Amino acid sequence: MARLGVNIDHVATLRQARGGADPDPLTAAILVELAGADGLVVHLREDRRHIQDRDLTLLREIVRTKLDLEMAADDAMAKIALSVKPDLVTLVPERRQELTTEGGLDLVNHRERIQKIVDLLRDGGIPTSLFVEPTLDQIKAAHKIGAAYVELHTGRYANAKRSKEEDEEFEAITQAAKLAYKLGLGVNAGHGLTYKNVKRLAKLPEIVEFNIGHSIIARSVMVGLVQAVREMKELVN
């Protein structure tokens, strides 16, 4: 039975659009937990386009399940993480011009830089997850770095236009998940997942957690946040 982590970044996106106080990500976090989610996910970006430092500090105080902080692999963000102490840090690539995180970390070519941050966080008592493409070389590199988890980037699977393309991406995720599990890594998955396409991935026993945001927040506009979370929770279990 897989866990569900709900990313509430886009609650903050809507708030920031008008520069006011509503909707409040803290209220969203409470509702998400009441709906049965297993954790909260937020991405503190360099440009602070949605989640703000104050949000993160207050979320750490109120979240009772698990707080997963997504962040870039740099010293400034590591300093914030060591201060706030989330339950998990997921390191992700970050480019200012992108609308959302696109693609996974390149652990093979940037191992030294990422290793430094993973070691720093581990020494501070914070486990790490590495957001990677579902390729065997990236999984092996994550294991060598000493991460506790990998989060498999499911974007290409989610965006596949033809069934053959989807099948190929599903197979890549399957093989990556199996290798990660064999190497002792926890396996999470996320990016672009919806109420429709998550069902197939939910059948993979190696994946222990799905982290989903946009689809749930979009659905909540129509049915309410609690109902949207409950519907997704049912699909991943």
Q: What is the CATH number of the domain that holds 80?
A: 3.20.20.70
- From CA 36, how far away is CA 45, in angstroms rounded? 27
State the catalytic residue, choosing from 10, 33, 50, 70: 70
Which of 48-52, 54-58, 96-100, 143-147 comes out lowest in average pLDDT? 96-100
Examine the residue annotation and report whether 94 is marked as an active-site residue of this protein.
no
Looking at the structure of the chain, the number of domains it has is 1
User: Is residue 74's pLDDT more than 90?
Assistant: yes
Examine the residue annotation and report whether 153 is marked as an active-site residue of this protein.
no
What are the tokens at 126?
A: 């914070």
> What DSSP string describes 101-132?
--S-B-TTTSHHHHHHHHHHHHHTT--EEEEE
State the catalytic residue, choosing from 10, 43, 50, 143: 43
User: Is residue 101's pLDDT more than 70?
Assistant: no
What's the pLDDT tens digit per position in 22-39?
999 999 999 999 999 999
State the catalytic residue, choosing from 50, 143, 191, 206: 191
Whose structure tokens read 């830089």?
113
Band (103; pLDDT cuts 50, 70, 90) = confident
Find the helix or strand (DSSP H, E) in which 68 lies.
strand 67-71
Full domain range(s) for residue 168: 3-236
User: Is residue 99's pLDDT more than 80?
Assistant: no
Examine the residue annotation and report whether 70 is marked as an active-site residue of this protein.
yes
What's the pLDDT tens digit per position in 160-201?
999 999 999 999 999 999 999 999 999 999 999 999 999 999
User: Is residue 126's pLDDT more than 70?
Assistant: yes
